[in-house]
A and B are shown apart, each in its own frame.
Chain A
């Protein structure tokens, strides 16, 4: 496989362009995941604008029309829409886990079944979030790759 690395001026935005036969190939997903580690999003906390790495976000939730990023201890408000953030998360360990939430699979400590047919994910900061049944197959795929 041919690999081309082009050095660009600091003022230009860095990007990774992959030309592949199948975007679901493991090596493509691996590169997407590495590149995604460098993706940042803006969040507001205490009136300050903060830049957050995708890998540091535990989950993204929309509550009553307002969006929030939840990190290990801090909560940041955001102006992003759920579908916008979902598009940003393609190829990463963040996945849609319910109607209003995107969860980072890497932060899940363990999963508990529930009588409602859904799942309760216990995160490594002790928080509990709900995973809908319809999104569990995505989580299974993400964990297995």
Chain B
């Protein structure tokens, strides 16, 4: 259940990022173009699903070392660009080279933001864990003091 919740949360996050990127692309570069609402939302969902599928690159039977994680993160960024850029171009989310460059930058920025948010959550969790560890150590010292005294 927790895993489903985790992936749903991720899906909504990626979907939001794609919607925002596409919104700004349309607003800045092609304000006159019209996209049918249902098709637009549907394509955004598909782009999100494809993005989520690329996460399979992190799948491993063994725990990834830090080096392996960085390698796969770089490969994932390349894969995202290789898959999402042609798809988005085909669906009219960007048209010329400049648009493509900006859309590609959006993808990288979104990936960076994803990792930053992840890090923020880890940071918060680590602080909570460290507080618990400190509390336990204090209690142990107090216990030892009581036993000795």
Whether A99 contacts B63 by the Cβ 8 Å rule is yes
Chain B min CB distance to A63 (Å): 10
User: Using Cβ atoms and an 8 Å threshold, which residues of chain B touch A112?
Assistant: 126
Give the number of residues in A that approach B within 8 Å (Cβ atoms): 25
User: Per DSSP, are chain A's interface residues mostly helix, strand or loop, or mixed?
Assistant: mixed
User: Using Cβ atoms and an 8 Å threshold, which residues of chain B touch A140?
Assistant: 125, 128-129, 132
User: Using Cβ atoms and an 8 Å threshold, which residues of chain B touch A137?
Assistant: 2
Q: Which 10 A-B pairs have the closest CB atoms?
A: A113-B122, A143-B132, A113-B126, A117-B118, A116-B69, A113-B123, A98-B63, A99-B63, A111-B129, A111-B126
- Please judge, given known A-B contacts A101-B63, A136-B125, whether A111 and B119 are in contact too, CB under 8 Å: no
Nearest CB in chain B to that of A133: its residue? B122
Chain B min CB distance to A55 (Å): 13
Whether A116 contacts B125 by the Cβ 8 Å rule is no
Q: With an 8 A cutoff between CB atoms, is B143 at the interface?
A: no
Q: CA separation between A134 and B14, bound complex, in Å?
A: 20
Chain B min CB distance to A29 (Å): 15
Q: With an 8 A cutoff between CB atoms, is B62 at the interface?
A: yes
Whether B119 contacts A117 by the Cβ 8 Å rule is yes
Whether A117 contacts B122 by the Cβ 8 Å rule is yes
Which residues 104-145 in A have Cβ within 8 Å of B in the complex? 108-119, 130, 132-133, 136-137, 139-140, 143-144
Known: A113-B122, A114-B66. 16 other contacts (CB 8 A): A99-B62, A101-B63, A110-B130, A113-B119, A114-B122, A116-B73, A118-B122, A119-B126, A119-B129, A133-B122, A136-B125, A136-B129, A137-B2, A140-B132, A143-B133, A144-B132
User: Using Cβ atoms and an 8 Å threshold, which residues of chain A touch B115?
Assistant: 115, 117
Most interface-central of A108, A115, A132 (chain B CB within 10 A): A115
Q: With an 8 A cutoff between CB atoms, is A100 at the interface?
A: yes
Whether A100 contacts B133 by the Cβ 8 Å rule is no
User: Using Cβ atoms and an 8 Å threshold, which residues of chain A touch B125?
Assistant: 113, 119, 136, 140
Q: CA separation between A136 and B2, bound complex, in Å?
A: 13
Contact of A130 among B2, B63, B129, B132 (CB under 8 A): B63
Q: CA separation between A114 and B129, bound complex, in Å?
A: 14
Q: CA separation between A137 and B121, bound complex, in Å?
A: 13
Nearest CB in chain B to that of A61: its residue? B63
Nearest CB in chain B to that of A141: its residue? B132
Q: CA separation between A98 and B64, bound complex, in Å?
A: 10
User: Using Cβ atoms and an 8 Å threshold, which residues of chain B touch A119?
Assistant: 122, 125-126, 129
